[in-house]
Structure formats: C-alpha cells, structure tokens
A and B are shown apart, each in its own frame.
Chain A
Amino acid sequence: MDDSDDDYVEFSPGGGDDDDLDFNDNDGISKRTRNRDPSGSTNKKGSPRKGKAVADSKLKGTSGGYAWEDEYHRSWDVVQEDEGGSLAGAVAGLVEESKKKRIVRDTKPLQRGIIRNLILILDFSSAMLEKDLRPNRYKLMINYAIEFVGEFFDQNPISQLGIVAMKDGLAMLVSELDGNPTEHIHKLELCRKQEPTGVPSLQNALEMARGLLYHVPAHCTKEVLLIFGALLSSDPGDIHKTITSLVDDKIRAKVIGLAAQVAVCKELSTRTNYGHSENNYGVVLNEPHFKDLLMETTTPLAVSKMGASVRANMLVEMGFPSRISESEPTLCACHSMLTQGGYLCPRCKSKICSLPTICPCCSLTLILSTHLARSYHHLFPLQSFIEVDATKRAIASHCFSCQLELPHITSLTSPTHRFACVKCNNQFCIDCDVFCHETLHNCPGCESMAHKPKQRPVPLLPRPVQKLKLNFNSASSSASSTPAPEDGISV
C-alpha cells in the first residue's frame, strides 16, 4: 500500500516497534501536509507509518470516523414541538441550556499570574477582507479588539497591554506596552481607516512581541494573543527558532484562528504552553464564538507548575497615592500639561493624571487599592451553584436574592430551575446564578448571613490565620479542600 496518498490507514497495534511511542506531538500536524516528511511515502512497516496512524486517529471525530464522515445533524431536528405545537418551551430550554453552559466553570482556587503583560497581535493582511464574518473579518476584529481592551483592563487593572499588527509582511507597532486603556482604544480607532493589505509575517510579529516583553520582570506574566485570519505566513527566517526563543523567554501564546487551523499556530500554542494546546488555540465558528474566545483571555492564566520558579514570587513595592483637588491648574509629571487635580506620588510628590501607572519621576508602581481588590475574585472564585434535586425536601418557592417566583415542580424528573449554593444552601434562579458568577462574584446567601465578630490581631505578632492555599495548575490536580477566602484576607 502506498502511503503517499493521505488515505485512511488502519492503526495496527502490533505493527511497529514500541520504542516509537514517544513520537513528537507536532508530528501529527506536519503529517497532514502531503510529502512533508521524507520517509512518509515509504512502504516500510514501522515508525513513520505508525506515527501517521496515530496522527490520523487524532483527526477522527468522537464517533470514530473523520469529522466529515459524521452524520449531519440538522439543527431543526433537535428542537421538538410540545403538545400545543408551540416552540416556546423548547426555545426557553435552549436559552437555559446556554446559560448553564456559561456557569459551569472550574472554581478551584489556582495561583494565577495577576500582573500580566499581553501583546495583542492583529492580522492586517489581505485575508482579513473576507466577508465570512460580518461585516468583514477586519472590521469585526477591530470592533472586538476595542471591546477586549476595555474588558481586559476591567479584569486586570494592574496589567499592561501592547498591540502589534501584521501587514505587508512586516510587523507594525500599533501601541506600546502600556496600562492605559484609552490610549489603546484611540490607536485602534485610528486603525479603522486603514485597509488590510499584503501577507502577514508571523515571525516578524512574534519577534517584535518578544522585544516588547523583554524588560518585563519575572513576577509578571508574558503573554501573546494572536488573531490570525490568513492561512499562511511569510517569514524571513526560521519560525521554529522564534518559537523556541519564545519558549525560552517563558512567553505564553494563545491563538485565535479566523479561517482554519494552521499547523504552525498549533505548534506555537502547544510549545509555549508546556505542551497543552487545549484552550490555547481556537478557530472561530461564528461571530459570538469569536467574541467568547477573545473574552476568555481576559481571565488571568493559571500558573503552571512547570513555569513556576522562586524568582516569580516577588514582593513588589507599590505606592497608593491620594487624590487631590486643586483650585489652580498645575503641570502633571506624565504629560507635562496643565491639569486640575490628580494624584500625588507618595514618594516623590510629583503629580500624575491617571492610575495605575509607573511614576515618571521615581519609577514607583502607583495603583489604587481598589485595583488590587478588583483582582481578588480571580484568586478566590465563587463556588459553582448546584442544581437542586427535585427529590429534595426543602424546595424554595422563590429565588433567594431577586424574589422571583420559581416555577412549580410538576414531576420528580423534570429540572427544578433552582440552583443552590454549596455553603449556605440558599436557592437561586438561573439569572441570579449567572449574574453572581459573572458580575458580582459574591454569593448573596452567604453574605446575607450574620458576620461574626472577629478578634483583632495584636499588631506585629504572628496571628493564627488560615493560610490561603493557591494550587498550581498541574495535571495531578490534587486539590485539597478549599478554605474560605474571607477567613484569610481582611483589611
């Protein structure tokens, strides 16, 4: 049998040497391109064939065949009419299903890289003129990128962001690594007028990102988010060397593909994330999916055990400036402009317009304590609510927090539409559940209970605090019982 044709090859377990089991992960992708592997077209039994067979098995869908051999699911068959011929019940069920999907999350407290440095690489190549995403890929990307910048700084107030564009085979700097969202949004607005042209160069863009992230201290994360619309990359050198240097620099890359999966992007996302490519490479299905993939990135990445080092644990000196109001305008240290009011650096007393920033005079990191507080919910996420079993005796008639009357339970098998907090056992409706987990990050039930008076610790003596345990994101996930975050941190 000639293997040069990319046909289905049956995987025979006893066919080859067992030594070849530790084949490289990216073999699978390169095999998809014909005749890339010089030994791939041989008739020999053994390692190349076996690697190919395994690679083929990766392409297969859940039913065992290739994705394109799967039975075609017609979406209108899924929806069932009720007795009255109405679709209202089915539609409501679908809506609830989608909400449920949003609330099922991993809520293990993980150690996350809170102080982030992210380079957003945008594709400005001619492939972005495609209209498969409305109005076209380019305009949609700019719109979503602007939303992303706002959301990113909302979730990560003490982080920094830079934007790089790939155009005409070159990497263009759109905006420098900076902590001010308005600056980035302004630069992106200016990009709207540009026309995407030429071919993208992944290597140039990644090298520029590497350069921008070069000075970042070890306790911060270095990340690259690549939005890639083209299916090719025109590089001046060896991109694999660039990927290796990204790995050496501990830069983590996430790729969002707009057209199809590209082998080099897969390699990039796999190798820079310690061999895990899940969640780090996504190809968009439609516009909402694009947005979902983009907004996922606003949550800080969990620190992997492999990436953790003692150097990463640092004590950072930060200043908490107070706001002043002035009757006369004075010059600010950051823009040298006359402004009224601002913040005073506690160390050198120079006036700064906006926070968070690094003092231009004495280079002290200046933040508000609210910025720190905003990141706490990433570290101590709210535990998921569990759907109440219909057989349970105490079924609430109303949602605990919004007083909404919940539907009566007709049978013991039907869903109860009630979600209970594990700690306080109060029952909530699905809207409150989604709101609590996505926006509020509090359980109204737990917070509505009496707050026990706390003994004030004697200053400067070690007090018996329950130490917070932040686990690493490891495969072994030996998560012990998670302590309540409120017990550990109080101001």
Chain B
Amino acid sequence: MNAVDDTHASLGGSERTGSDEHPTLLGIVLDTNPTAWAELENKLSLKEAVESLLIFINAHLSLNNANRVAVIAAHTTGAKFLYPKPPSSSFENGSQSGHTSLKAMSGTTGTANIFDRQTMYRQFREVDEAVVGELDRLVSSATEKSVRSTQSAVSGALSLALTYINRVNSNEDEVKTHARILLVSVSGDLSSQYIPTMNCIFAAQKKRIPIDVCKLAGDTVFLQQASDSTNGTYMKLDHPRGLVQYLLSAFLVDPAILPHVNLSTQRDVDFRAACFVTKTVVDIGCVCSVCLCIMSKVPADGSCPMCGTVYDPQALQKINRKPMVIVKKKPKKKKAKLDSTPVGTPSPIP
C-alpha cells in the first residue's frame, strides 16, 4: 500500500512542477494602420516595430518549448492572420512566400539578410518568415481605396484571436494552456467599433484571457477599460523608439508572476461615457430604458433618438424638474392648530 501511495505522491509532485510551467499561447494583434504609422514615422517606423516584435516573439517562444504564438494584423482593409499562415496563401505559393519576403525585407531596407537559413533556430525562422511574408503581402496589396478608410479592424482581429485561443484551449484538454493577448495599437479613433470591441472584452473577461495594450500613439478610452477589466497591462509608451525594451520588460512577464511585478500600469481609469447624440463625454447622463443609449440631455421631442421610443411625459418632467427653494412660512401657532384639526386626518380611500 505504501508503495502505491508513494508513486501517487511522486506522480502528484511531477504534475505540480509541470503545472508551474504552463505553456502560454500569446495572441498578438498588430495595428497596421498606414496613416497612423506614417504619422509615427519619425519616432518609429513599421519596419523597426516589426523587428522589435519579432525579437519579442522569439523571446516568448524560447521561454518554454511548448509556448505558442499567433499574430494577427488589424489593417484598414480588414483583419488577417499573419501566423499561423492563412491556408489560402500557403496553397498558392507556400514555399515561395518566405523567399519573397526575404527579398522584400532586404530589398527595401538594404540591411543584411536577417534570416540566416542555416544557423537560425527553426521555430524562430518559421514564425519570422511567416510574419514578414504575410505582412509584406498585406502591405503590397494595399490600394488607394483601401488606404482611404481610416479605422483598422481591431475588433475583428481581437475576435479572430479569441476564436483561435478558444480552439487551442478546447483541443488540448490535458495540457492547460494559458492564453493572453497583446494589442500593439497605433490608431486612435475606434468609435464605430465600440460594441464589437466591448463584446470581445467581455468574452476575454469570461475566458480569463488578459488583454495587454501597448499604445504607441493616439488614445482610445475603451482600450484602457479592456486591459483594466481583463487584468491586463496598459502602457502608453513615451519613447516609442525603445519598443523592444518595453516589450521585453513589461509584456514578456508571465501572468503567473505578474502580481509580484510592479508595472507602471494605468490605475485611474476613465469610465465616463460618451453621449450618443452629441459625442460629448458625460458623467451624469440620461439612459433610455429600452435601448440603453446614453444622452447628455433630455431630447427635445421626448422620444429616443436611437430607437424612437416615446417616453412617458411624467418621467421627463421629473428629470427636467429644477431644484426648488421652499420658502418657510412664519409659524402661526394658533391658526395652524385650528386648521390642522379638521383637515388633518385624510378620509380613507375606498
């Protein structure tokens, strides 16, 4: 019996050490908005950013042999998987894609060949080639028309990352994979994607997937809320040129030891809401009880600007009511006493 117990204990022990080193699946969403990157050009070019990101990915992969990564680009034309390689492109010219990217990288920049096929660690090379190749394909496919749209499909990229994480987690029930998402964001305004992005945040919250936000430029209020409600890290970089430093020191930290690391994340979060009609930020607003749209003032026609519901006029009156100062009457003792007796008790309502 003792022997059985012993093996049991040793098995349990080995399991525990195994659980300490859970493999991590890192979903990286890279915002590739061309206009935003063009504005950022003097501080940090997209190429430098991708190089930093590749170093970061390689560092992540080398932390644990079973660590995995997924890279998704949020472009103005839509969201697209960079790694793992989307099936359509690998069918067309699977072997060539790495080659073209190589050429593109070395051709446009004139730097030395960064992918040394012989000496490079295979896992690094696969990811790096795929990311650069697909990114190259994405950028070169850009047309004038696509550049004109200003918003990157961040909500779509987050949705893709979440479904991918969901699949990986549901497949491997035995090995528990931690997952987190890193969003490298450059563009500011995402207002038209408010509801889908919020849905992504809630799904991540439910699945306990932290969303880390690395903000290079612009400011988006609800990305702060994203990292706050999912226990992620929000960091607005003051010196974008040091991206690789930020990535390696702040975003490589394993979620398990995150509580012990003092990161400069945002503590005060702006939770104020924006009025749907005037787009102003309000702290006290009126909310439609039917469609939950937020208004900074009571609509003039007494109906909801979003769903057209006509409000109860009494309720509107109540909200519009101004505070009143009640003028104190001078107490007239004798009269009040006389008055109060006949009227004082109300007759019971039948």
The winner among A343, A368, A444, A460 for most chain B CB atoms within 10 A is A444
Contact A448 B291 (CB under 8 A): no
A440 at the interface (CB under 8 A from B): yes
Contact call A311/B312, Cβ cutoff below 8 A: yes
Please, what's the 1-or-0 string for A305-337, where 1 marks a CB less than 8 Å from any CB in chain B? Answer: 000001111111111111111000000000000
Residues on A with beta carbons closer than 8 Å to the beta carbon of B195 = 373, 376, 380, 485-486, 489-490
Q: List the B side residues contacting A379 at CB < 8 Å.
A: 291-292
| Inter-subunit contact B271/A323 (CB<8 Å) | yes
Contacts of B305 in A (CB 8 A): 462, 465
Contact B271 A403 (CB under 8 A): no
Query: B269 near A323 (CB under 8 angstroms)?
Result: yes
Known: A219-B289, A370-B229. 4 other contacts (CB 8 A): A321-B271, A369-B294, A372-B273, A465-B306
Question: By CB atoms of chain A within 10 A, which of B76, B270, B284 has the most?
Answer: B284
List the one stretch of B78-86, B100-108, B251-259, B330-338 in contact with chain A.
Answer: B78-86
**B206 and A451: CB pair below 8 A?**
no
B306 and A468 contacting across the interface, CB-CB below 8 Å: yes
Q: Which residues of A contact B95 (CB under 8 A)?
A: none
Question: Do the beta carbons of A447 and B153 come within 8 Å of each other?
Answer: yes
Query: Of residues A373, A441, A451, which shows the largest number of chain B Cβ atoms within 10 Å of its Cβ?
Result: A451
Q: In the complex the two chains form, is A447's CB within 8 Å of B278's CB?
A: no
Stretch of B126-134, B158-166, B340-348 with 4 or more beta carbons under 8 angstroms from chain A? B158-166
Task: Provide the bound-state CA to CA distance between A469 and B304, in Å.
Answer: 12
A115 touching B289, Cβ below 8 Å? yes
A470 at the interface (CB under 8 A from B): yes
Contact A315 B286 (CB under 8 A): yes
- CB of B279 within 8 A of CB of A459, answer yes
Q: Taking beta carbons and an 8 Å cutoff, which residues of A are in contact with B?
A: 111, 114-115, 154, 218-220, 310-325, 343, 346-347, 364, 368-370, 372-377, 379-380, 397-399, 401-405, 429, 431-432, 435-436, 439-444, 446-454, 456-457, 459-460, 462-463, 465, 467-470, 485-486, 488-491
B287 touches A398 (CB 8 A): no
A184 → B minimal CB distance (Å): 19
Q: Are A468 and B291 in contact (CB under 8 A)?
A: yes
Per a CB cutoff under 8 Å, which of B156, B203, B314 touches A449?
B156
* Nearest CB in chain B: distance from A482 CB, A: 13
Shortest CB-to-CB span from A377 to chain B, Å, is 6
Contact A318 B284 (CB under 8 A): yes
Q: Are B268 and A491 in contact (CB under 8 A)?
A: no
B151 and A431 contact, CB distance less than 8 A? no
B315 at the interface (CB under 8 A from A): yes
What residue in chain A is nearest B168 (Cβ atoms)?
A402
